Amino acid sequence: MSRHTIALAQINPALGDLERNLALHEKTAEEAIRRGASLLVFPELSLTGYFLKDLVSSVALPMTSPILGRLRDLSQRIDLVVGLVEESSEHLFYNAAIYLSMGEIQHVHRKVYLPTYGIFDEQRYLAEGGQIRTFRARVGRSAILICEDMWHPSAAYVASIDGMEILISPSASPGRGGLEEGKSFANARAWETINRAYAQLFTCYVLFANRVGYEDGACFWGGSEVITPSGEPVAKAEYLSEEILVVEIDPAEVRRARTVNPLLRDERLDVTLRELERVRREGVR
């Protein structure tokens, strides 16, 4: 199994400006290619910005969009994970991330869990995704979970059972909890705990690509990182500043982790399904 050089694009997209953001994607991809990366992961809603509200319908893209055609062309040279508002054939709008490779869209993940609390209001403007699937990527069998999806362990569990070796998490996480001198935001520390726990529990790589910049008074904190299947950080981007984080990952690390900790081997899917069905049927006692 060969090693792979991957890049995380910790960028600051412009709210609602598709052309400007597309140019930023192309520029970032050229730099990642120059630095030897075979996969480049952009943050959540990287083509549009996050706090879109009533702009959702005006920036939504069908899969046949010429903008995505330019990214398809680019994916002949480097695999891409890109965040966008996807418009379905039924004219529903999804917070989505697409995986492009060899000129094709290989996988689409529609965000399953739409936060609608605090400063978040996604359910008012977007439709919920209803699937969690893994797919065969150049770096290994992968799953994409977008931001809030990661705060629901069931999503990562389903992906793990479906063969996940690489967990890709495009995110747009605003800082919460106060930024004390010499410390990160409280929710940044929580994210770092989740990333390390999932990597170790599901014996997979975690590729966390978070954005930076300000929108609607919110500060996106960055801190993109790559975590090994043993739960150890390989590389981490700075907080608050734009950066292209380039790192080498080794698929053999998945094998090593699963040899030492055969958690996936010992998983009792029959018990899980039976007990979930019981709780669904009977409710919580």
State the average pLDDT over residues 106-127: 97
Question: Is residue 181 scored above 60 in pLDDT?
Answer: no
The pLDDT score that the predictor gives to residue 182 is 55
Q: Tell me the β-bridge partners of 281.
A: none
Q: Categorise residue 223: left if φ over 0, alpha if ψ from -120 to 50, beta otherwise.
A: left
* pLDDT-derived band at 284, boundaries 50, 70, 90: confident
CA distance 137 to 135: 6
Question: Is residue 178 scored above 80 in pLDDT?
Answer: no
State the average pLDDT over residues 215-235: 96
**CA contacts within 13 A on the Cβ side of 229:** 24
Name residues whose C-beta falls within 8 Å of residue 240's C-beta, 6 or more positions apart in sequence: 212, 219, 221, 222
Domain that holds residue 112: 4-282
What total number of domains does the chain contain? 1
Transcribe the chain into DSSP letters. Answer: ---EEEEEEE--PPTT-HHHHHHHHHHHHHHHHHTT-SEEE--TTTTT-S--GGGHHHH-B-TT-HHHHHHHHHTTTSEEEEEEEEEPTT--EEEEEEEEETTEEEEEEE-S----STT--HHHH-BPP----EEEETTEEEEE--GGGGG-HHHHHHHHHTT-SEEEEEE--B--S---TT---HHHHHHHHHHHHHHHHTT-EEEEEE-EEEETTEEEEB--EEE-TTS-EEEEPPBSS-EEEEEEE-THHHHHHHHH--TTTT--HHHHHHHHHHHHHH---
The pLDDT score that the predictor gives to residue 184 is 76
CA distance 168 to 277: 29
The pLDDT score that the predictor gives to residue 120 is 96
More confident residue, 2 or 111: 111
For 25-35, what is each residue's pLDDT tens digit? 999 999 999 99
The CATH number of whichever domain residue 194 belongs to comes to: 3.60.110.10
Query: What token pair was written down for 3?
Result: 């090693």
Residues of the chain with pLDDT > 70, as a percent, come to: 98
